[in-house]
Structure 1
Amino acid sequence: MSLTCQVTGARPRSGNSVPHSQHKTKRWFRVNIQKKRYFVPSENRWIRLTVSARGQKVIDRRGIDRVVKEMRARGERI
Structure 2
Amino acid sequence: MSRICDVTGAGPGFGNNVPWSKRKTRRRWNVNLQHKRYYLPSEGRHVRLRVSAKGIKIIDRDGIEAVVRRIRARGVKV
**TM-score scaled by length of structure 2:** 0.87
Q: Which amino acid aligns with 1:35?
A: H
1:37 counterpart = 2:37: yes
Q: Which amino acid aligns with 1:61?
A: R
In the TM superposition, 1:1-78 aligns within 5 A as 1-78=1-78
Count of matched residue pairs: 78
Distance 1:18 1:42 in 2: 50
Gaps of 5+ in 2: none
Distance 2:38 2:2 in 1: 18
CA drift of 1:56 comes to 0.6
Query: Does the residue aligned with 1:38 lie in a helix, a strand or coil?
Result: strand
Query: Could you list the runs of 4 or more consecutive aligned residues of structure 1 that deviate by over 4 angstroms after TM superposition?
Result: none
Distance 1:59 1:20 in 2: 41
Indicate the RMSD between aligned Cα atoms, in angstroms: 1.4
Gaps of 5+ in 1: none
Deviations along 1:31-77, one digit per CA (max 9) or x if unpaired, are 11111100011111110001111111110111100000000110011
Distance 2:28 2:67 in 1: 28
